[in-house]
Structure 1
Amino acid sequence: MKNTFLRRSFFAVSLLALLGYSFNPALNWLLSKPNSKFGGVQIGAITYSFRSMPHDVDKLLQFCVESNISAIELMGDPTEEYAGKPKNQNPIRMGPPPAGTPPGQRPQLTDEQKAQIAAYNKQVAEWRATVSMDKFKEIRKKFNAAGVKIYAYKPNAFGPNNSDAEVEYGLKAAKALGATSVTLEMPTDAAQTQRLGDLGAKHKVYIGYHAHTQATDVLWDVALAQSPYNSLNLDCGHYIAAGGKNTKETLLALIEAKHDRITSMHMKDRTTPEHGAGNLEWGQGDTPIKEILTLMKTKKYKFPATVELEYAVPTGSDAVKEVGKCVEFTKKILM
């Protein structure tokens, strides 16, 4: 019994040292590796899900372990901050829009604010063009040692105003993190998906295009035809909330038809427009989560199903607990 205890203690201290931590009883969460692969289906989470809780890279890792997430789509901001991204000395703080402002309409910026944003973006672009990949490799090492794989990376570096050097930075960083794909919102210009697809092919990293309620069964077709490295970051909840021709049946058919071009898939429980197009706790909306996961298990699809927490966190709870609840929801379906 004593030898067993000593072996476990040695393992614990070794793991903490590998992750760059000093031994501290408060870090017991590191000693239990998460496992969110059930019935052969990898359940992951986008770290955007933890946006309501202040965090850096190390806190994110803690959140993943505590919510039993063993694979993630990693957002760019904390990752780039860890790697030394320049801090914005003149942040533009957007307050609430004036009463009567149409939904989604951004406040008008002054010329001075526009100049500040342009200057900072130039500084970031220069940093991205020259930054070492060492810090990204450190992040990969931390997460892998704790049992968390990074399968996708989402920095704000793939827009039409980002240079090729910035795009290539994002792809190199993804590889350093261990990711096989990057994700971004679906561009409206086919020239942009062609550019990104070509650069994805150059670096052998997939470009996963995410859609909101503009999703249709043919939305991705042009991009998919442009490059074998263009792919879907399908969001099942947004697809259902779009309504119209988008139904549970067409969603399942789309997944079957495009399964070999899906690199990751977001999961949330939204309702149809007839039911308010809301974001609800899992099991209360219209997204066919059970049918989707059953299809993935039956067909042995290898792309991950990504928890994206977008419903309001209940009073007394937090994002980590709610992501954990979503993981348990999937486990009950798949096991």
Structure 2
Amino acid sequence: MNDYNSSRRQFLGAGAALLTGTLMANGKLWGMPAIIDNFGKSGSLIKGVQIGVITYSFREMPDQSAEATLQYVRDCGISAIELMGGPAESFAGAPKNPVDFRTVFPLMRKRNEKQTLTPEEQQQLDEAETKMKAYRAEMAQWRATAPISKFEELGKTYKKAGVSIYAFKPDAFGMQNTDTEIEYGMRAAKALGATQVTLEHPSNDAHTLKLGKMAEKVGIKVGYHGHEQQTYTFWDTALAQSPANALNLDFGHFVAAGNPTPLEMVKKYHERIVSMHIKDRQTKANGRGNLPWGQGDTPIADALKLIRDNKYNFPATIELEYQIPKGSNSVEEVKKCLEFCKQALA
């Protein structure tokens, strides 16, 4: 089993935690059923392929509330999503994250890419991590008594607006989280209507065993996400440990990692893939860039056709990670990604 290096673990763990509650609105704008009912149901089920989006794609948008997130999704024409923890937990009354994710995340990425941080940037990261340590403790206490009924309410509201939630990704499943938090996250996912929870693969066999067994009891799947440490055998131990353990395959990262036949990976594991992230990355030989769709080396169109032609039943999840062009925003770029999918499947 390949391991993350220490900077990768720091980056992913802190990044997920930051996403949990950053910039959450206080909920005062929620409760506008007339507007929600008029959002329409354009849908993103194309030729039998469910195109979704992870709401992480909207991380640069100014309002991260549950209502605003729903608006972004509907504006894109998407009808199914992988929901990050922040909007849902904020709606349920979670404490507000004291760290400004939009400011700190670029510094985390810079550190992860081994770029030199200025003394001021390093100090800013150190202060953020100190705040996050206290915030995690506060969140653990809140999750112990969090109202699951609020997640049921949110799931029904999204469904009424024509958006289903197939996956939930709160920062509740790491090795630093308590068993109470883990079970809470799984039960919250079911309340939202999700069939799976997702997290970065912890590269720890004992932890994937524990997560799989807990998921079996709750009745939900655990989709493990990978980055450039993905290989053709990366998930094998977790899959053998529990029928609840599964793949949240990142197709673009898999290509960037240097794996030469990504479509074969999809064919081999299609029965254990619960969702697949799609982005257009370059191969290792070409620099591993993350580019606007159609400009990289990832065979996105071929993968979508493979899902269509073989009637695989997992969603293809748009994950917007390339640099947003000046004058555009996350919503407009996700729309472009969806249009790419429509053209590929036409």
Aligned to 1:37: 45
- Measured after TM superposition, the shift of residue 319 of structure 1 is 0.8
Could you tell me which residue of structure 1 aligns to residue 304 of structure 2? 293
The aligned residue for residue 154 of structure 1 is: 169
Partner of 2:194, secondary structure, is: coil
Q: Unaligned stretches of 5+ in structure 1? A: 1-18
The answer to whether the 8 Å contact 2:39/2:74 transfers is no
Q: Which residue of 2 aligns with 1:15?
A: none
Larger Rg: 1
The answer to whether structure 1 residue 237 and structure 2 residue 252 are counterparts is: yes
Q: Separation in 1 of the partners of 2:308 and 2:75?
A: 25
**1:194-253 Cα shifts (integer Å, max 9, x gaps):** 01011111101100000000000000000000000000000000000111xx01xx2111
Residue 83 of structure 2 is matched in structure 1 by 74
Alignment of 1:53-202 (within 5 A): 53-55=61-63, 56-88=65-97, 94=104, 103-104=113-114, 107=122, 116-202=131-217
Bigger mean CA offset, 260-269 vs 55-64: 55-64
CA distance 1:186–1:33, change in 2 (3 Å): same
State the distance in 1 between where 2:345 and 2:216 align. 34
Preserved contact between residue 30 and residue 65 of structure 1 (Cα < 8 Å): no
In 1, Cα distance between equivalents of 2:319 and 2:202? 21
| Partner in structure 2 of residue 261 of structure 1 | 272
- Once the two structures are superposed, what CA deviation does each residue of 1:94-114 show, in whole Å capped at 9, x if it has no partner? 59769x967358958999977
Q: State how far apart, in whole Å, the 2-side matches of 1:217 and 1:109 are.
A: 38
Structure 1 range deviating more: 320-329 or 211-220: 320-329
Assess if the C-alpha contact under 8 Å between 1:29 and 1:66 holds in 2: no
- Code of the aligned partner of 1:157: A
CA distance in 1, matches of 2:193, 2:311: 22
Q: Percent of counterpart pairs with the same letter?
A: 51
Matched residue SS, 2:270:
helix
Note if 1:217 corresponds to 2:258.
no
Question: 106-115 or 283-292, which moves further after superposition?
Answer: 106-115
Return the alpha-carbon distance in structure 1 between the equivalents of residues 329 and 343 of structure 2. 21
Question: CA separation in 2, counterparts of 1:150 and 1:278?
Answer: 30
Q: For the Cα contact (< 8 Å) 1:34–1:68, is it kept in 2?
A: yes
- 2:144 aligned counterpart, secondary structure: helix
Given that 2:196 and 2:220 are in contact with CA atoms closer than 8 Å, whether structure 1 keeps it comes out as yes
2:10 matched residue in structure 1: none
Question: Are 2:104 and 2:125, in contact at CA under 8 Å, matched by a contact in 1?
Answer: no
Aligned to 1:277: 288
Aligned match for 1:303, one of 314, 318, 325? 314
Instruction: Name the SS of the counterpart of 1:275 in structure 2.
Output: coil
Please provide the CA RMSD for this pair: 2.6
Which residue of the other structure, out of 322, 326, 330, is the alignment partner of 2:337?
Answer: 326
Partners of 1:220 and 1:101 in 2: CA distance: 27
Distance change >3 Å, CA 28–CA 95, structure 1 → 2: closer
Q: Which runs of 5+ in 2 are unaligned?
A: 1-29
Q: Cα distance, 1:20 vs. partner? A: 3.0
Contact 2:301 2:344 in 1 (8 A): yes
Runs of 4+ in 1 over 3 A off after TM superposition: 27-31, 88-98, 104-119
1:132 Cα deviation after fit: 1.1
Distance 2:126 2:228 in 1: 32
CA distance in 2: counterparts of 1:112 and 1:63, whole angstroms: 31
The AA in structure 1 aligned to 2:71 is Q
Q: Which residue of 1 aligns with 2:59?
A: 51
Q: Matches of 1:257 and 1:95 in 2, distance apart?
A: 35
Distance in 2 of aligned mates of 1:149 and 1:95:
28
Q: Structure 2: how far apart are the matches of 1:285 and 1:216?
A: 20
Amino acid at match of 1:285: G
Question: In 1, Cα distance between the equivalents of 2:127 and 2:326?
Answer: 40
